[in-house]
Amino acid sequence: MNTLYTMGIDIGSTASKCVILKDGKEIVSKSLVSVGAGTSGPSRAIAEVLENGGLKREDMAFVLATGYGRNSLEIADKQMSELSCHAHGAHFLFPNVHTVIDIGGQDAKVLHVGDDGNLVNFVMNDKCAAGTGRFLDVMARVLEVDVGDLAGLGAKSQVQVEISSTCTVFAESEVISQLAKGTDRCDIIDGIHRSVAGRVGGLARRVGVQPDVVMTGGVARNCGVLHALEKELNTEIQTSPLAQYNGALGAALFAFEKCR
């Protein structure tokens, strides 16, 4: 039987991610460009993933696009919602998954996944940025730290500080007033992580939390948020170094199913 290569591309609001799968089983190449829909990100991510794998577009049996910018990608054979793709991707990485918490650049979603990795039900955040990656970006800017350093700094917290989860603007002004009071930056960051966890925890309870619980999306790299969510939901949450590629991985899996 000939080898089947399929490509999944997840064009998010803040990043473009690509995954190439061999026979629906093995990840042979992946790429990530930190700009998303409406930018050069998608084409750069595609060029990179092909180059990394030593492959050409013609080698791809099927290309499936997902994410916010999915409908603008001309080379895609099909588009699917990122919700189904995240469910599928998480099931590939964690076969016993039943709940996926995905926090991306501008949305947060909680998925109920069936035994076979298909989407059963889901909830998403409303238009508010609280509880999303953008919320963390805004707070990192106010605190003058890199967003990638938030987890490490938050882990050093000694005193519990409460930050509102109602609104990004309210929370930003709370952070500024805490800084003005001389509150330790690490304590504020820990409060920010719990704020995100509180917001997303509310979403998760609406759809129902069933083990195994897996966290995906860019924010999954922040173990401060992940641990805060574990406390909030009183459950163990797993993640993977591939968390940010999860949507693209799911898309590549669906692509394989489409051409099988």
Partner 1 sequence: MNDKEKAEQAPVSAEAAPVKKKKTQSPGVLALQKVVNDVYQAARDAKKEGKLVGWSSSKFPCEIAETFDLNVVYPENQAAGIAAHHDDTRLCTIAENEGYDADICSYARINLAYAMGNETTNEGRRMPMPDFVLCCNNICNCMTKWYENIARIHNIPLIMVDIPYSNYPEVDDDFVAYVRGQFDIAIKQLEELTGKKFDEEKFKRVCGYANRTANAWLKVCDYLQYKPSPMSGFDLFNHMADVVTARGKKETAEAFELLASELEENLKTGKSTLPFPEQHRIMMEGIPPWPHLRELFKPLKEHGLNVTAVVYAPAFAFRFNDVEGMARSYAVAPNSVCLEKGVDWRSQLCKDNKVDGALVHYNRACKAWSGYMPEMQRRWQNELGIPVVGYDGDQADSRNFNAAQYETRVQALVEAMEEADRKKESGK
CA separation for the pair 103, 197 (Å, rounded): 10
Paired tokens of 113 = 């996944």
Contact pick of 75, 124, 169, 176 for partner 1 (by CB under 8 A): 124
CA 34, CA 16: separation in Å to the nearest integer?
6
Q: Is 92 in the site for partner 1 (CB under 8 A)?
A: no
Q: Interacting stretch for partner 1, rule CB under 8 A, among 18-26, 118-126, 133-141, 142-150?
A: 118-126
Choose, by CB under 8 A, the member of 27, 47, 55, 120 that binds partner 1: 120
Rounded-to-integer distance, Cα 67 and Cα 251, Å: 10
Beta bridge partners of 122: 111
Closest distance of CB 200 from partner 1, Å: 16
Tokens of 104: 């991306």
Is residue 107 near partner 1 by the rule CB under 8 A? yes
Q: Which stretch binds partner 1 (CB under 8 A): 23-31, 42-50, 78-86, 227-235?
A: 78-86
Question: Judged by CB under 8 A, which stretch of 24-32, 111-119, 150-158, 175-183 contacts partner 1?
Answer: 111-119
Q: Which of 57, 156, 206, 260 binds partner 1 (CB under 8 A)?
A: 206
| 121 touches partner 1 by CB under 8 A | yes
Q: Which amino acid is at 253?
A: L
Pairing status of strand 26-33 against strand 16-22: antiparallel
Residue type for position 73: L
Subset of residues 29 to 68 that bind partner 1, contact rule: CB under 8 A: 68
SS3 65: strand
Distance CA 149, CA 172 (A): 18
Number of amino acids touching partner 1 (CB under 8 A): 20
Summarize as ranges the residues that interact with partner 1 (CB under 8 A). Answer: 68, 71, 79-84, 107, 114, 118-124, 126-127, 206
